[in-house]
Structure 1
């Protein structure tokens, strides 16, 4: 039986950040009550807080004054809620029999200890495969995860596909109605590293969102090295004093390259902020979020929506449009808004082939391509593409 004579003092803010971060990943509903636990380890190196639900593991380490070393477990979400409400004074925790006594200022709490006998072994982080700038990692994951599916019966579509070729990384996700693709560079541990991984999008996005963008050190991505890459089935992320692992999806990601158009019959650029506002207003009259029509002509795009019962809305915005004829196309307004939200330039470039074929949304490059001799436009070089299926127009 492990020692439970734990006793320590720790700064309230350090403790609050640590337990809140681990508690985020703990399941709300569990088949095994022990998985609600947050493991607290006190040793010569300070405090470690950890959680694991067989899919995702989290560990964070902070400095503390340790009076007695040991390892205990308490209800994770409960201790996070308690610490969040404590005054900004040192927090003391000590074990008394089967309880953890938490005191801070004039506040006192008794928390029952959770027996550790049935707690699963927390996975170790695989070998570090490469490093990436924290801000870049967070931005890229946020852009791509927007297109990931949420239907667990199609697991291959609920993940972000990560393809690594030396210094180049490609992230992709699709739910069959839209597709997001982001390319970026990182610093691989080995120059000839190569891997294809499928990581649960929700877990990856949670990781990206909780990164402190003030972090100076790069994020370490850990999936193994050499011929061991991906062998453990774990995707590990280590940054600063935090590390997490997620069980990767054992499924085949679809081949998306044939879906990406190489040329376009027309292109348009629109300022994003006014377009988002116009979509928000016009889509108020869409029936069951059905569709929003966009009519592109030289110098203008007309947004419209409405049905027989819900009324009609229309709004005009300036736009730069190049193409043979005017174009009328319709989109699901929710998917369109999701795409615009992750294009990180002031203006978005649309590329169209036909009203019934997917369109692309990309960040505005410094220079748009000229039309070829046959009047088509090549797809501009870009680090991010959001491909969107149109909605069939009535009639």
Structure 2
């Protein structure tokens, strides 16, 4: 194999693949008439990224991903030449040379692409995913809560995730009707969406899901999606709604939260035309702040963990947010007063006041 590639484009492709694959995974580099392809896989995951290149001699090699990514990241050059020299892959520059060992040829194989189900706008998908994936659990012993459920029914795609204390649900349009219902690891899905540009393809085959975009493909094994459903959260007992700017409420939560106890629990006292935030901490004092709000329904005083409330409000930054409050320990439902292309619903469980 002998190929010349733009250093920054190759670095981006190798870095993206390295972040998705296990640390010790090998990467297959394949040079051909169409340029250079970077690919890798393990039993659960397969990735592929394309890079423009000038191929002098066709070929395919497998090399360690970590040193290749680190070397390319530090290069200060426009072009890099990759040449097989015996049992090494040499990275040649005008004034330097780096050589990586070749690994067994059976590693880093190209992923099989599941059939295309539908397509979605990449920017809208990434925006929705940033919010929804943030509510997935980071606790690996509970793998079923570490995923994002993707459901396509007709011309809408629904994304759902929960860590048992909160749930986020986003809906956005599909470019073509499709059928899909899978639970995908949230961390992997977020990283893949970060790389995606333009129109993103949604792929499905038994037990596997894939995302594709111009120059990239990520495929993964899926989890059991059946249990994670918005329908499992009671939402028909709303007796108070509060509407106010999300940014103003978030800023007040940050200020008042400084005075909360270790659990950072804040109380929202809803009046006729206002919301009063209050917290107290024995060693630092107490705080309260009042905001004007449009209130419909009776007075109520739910309590929330401050950081979870902030996460929810940040999803509605720059918008008017509507809090639909249910009595007792039922979830509070947050929505934008005027939803855009991505319609977001955020469920936040209240806390018992101290």
Q: Would the aligned equivalents of 2:167 and 2:347 in 1 still touch at CA under 8 Å?
A: yes
Which residue of the partner structure matches residue 243 of structure 1?
Answer: 217
Match of 2:140 in 1: 152
1:335 to 308, 311, 328: 308
**Corresponding position of 1:284:** 258
| 1:275 equivalenced with 2:249 (yes/no) | yes
Aligned to 2:348: 388
Change (3 A) 1:288 1:104: farther
* Candidates 48, 73, 90, aligned match of 2:62: 73
CA 1:255/1:16 → structure 2, altered by over 3 Å: closer, same or farther? closer
The correspondence of residues 162-173 of structure 1 with structure 2, limited to 5 A, is: 162-173=150-161
1:256 to 208, 215, 230: 230
Displacement after TM superposition at 1:79 (Å): 1.4
Scaled by the length of structure 2, the TM-score of the pair is 0.92
* Matched ranges for 1:1-395 at <5 A: 6-28=1-23, 35-117=24-106, 119=107, 121-188=109-176, 191=177, 193-212=178-197, 215=198, 218-223=199-204, 230-231=205-206, 233-250=207-224, 252-325=226-299, 327-343=300-316, 345-365=318-338, 383-394=343-354
Provide Cα deviations, 1:246-270, integer angstroms capped at 9, x if missing partner: 1101353244314141352111112
> How far apart are the structure 1 equivalents of 2:87 and 2:287?
64
How far is the alpha carbon of 1:235 from its aligned partner? 0.9
Deviation track 1:250-305 (CA, whole Å, cap 9, x = no partner) reads 35324431414135211111212222222222222333343122222233222222
Q: Where in structure 2 are there 5+ consecutive unaligned residues?
A: none
CA-CA distance at 1:139 after TM superposition: 1.7
**Larger deviation: 338-347 or 348-357?**
338-347
Instruction: Tell me how far apart the structure 1 counterparts of residues 88 and 212 of structure 2 sit (CA, whole Å).
Output: 32
Cα distance between partner residues in 2 of 1:157 and 1:329 = 26
Alpha-carbon deviation of 1:129? 0.5
The answer to whether the 8 A contact 1:87-1:105 is kept is: no
Task: State how far apart, in whole Å, the 1-side matches of 2:234 and 2:192 are.
Answer: 28
Residue 61 of structure 1: SS of its match in structure 2?
A: strand
* Structure 1 Cα separation of the partners of residues 311 and 336 of structure 2: 14
| Number of positions where the alignment pairs a residue of Structure 1 with one of Structure 2 | 352
Q: State how far apart, in whole Å, the 1-side matches of 2:203 and 2:30 are.
A: 23
* TM-score, normalised relative to structure 1: 0.83
Rounded Cα–Cα distance in structure 2 between residues aligned with 1:306 and 1:99: 64
Deviation track 1:86-130 (CA, whole Å, cap 9, x = no partner) reads 11321111121222211234232222222234x265430101011
Does the Cα contact within 8 Å between 1:56 and 1:246 map onto a contact in 2? yes
Shift of 1:179: 1.1
For each residue in 1:341-375, what CA deviation from the matched residue of structure 2 results, as whole angstroms up to 9, or x when unmatched?
22255221100121532101111138xxxxxxxxx
Shift of 1:169: 2.2
CA distance in 1, matches of 2:225, 2:239: 36
The 8 Å contact of residues 155 and 251 in structure 1, kept in 2 or not, is answered as no
Higher strand content, 1 or 2 = 2
SS of structure 2 residue aligned to 1:132: strand
| Partner SS, residue 166 of structure 1 | strand
Q: CA RMSD in A?
A: 2.1
Q: CA deviation at 1:177?
A: 0.7
Secondary structure at 1:287's aligned position in 2? coil
Task: Give the secondary structure class of the aligned counterpart of 1:167.
Answer: strand
SS of match in other structure, 1:197: strand
Structure 1 residue 20, shift from structure 2 partner:
1.6
Structure 1, unmatched stretches of 5+, are 1-5, 29-34, 224-229, 367-381
Give the aligned partner of residue 374 of structure 1: none
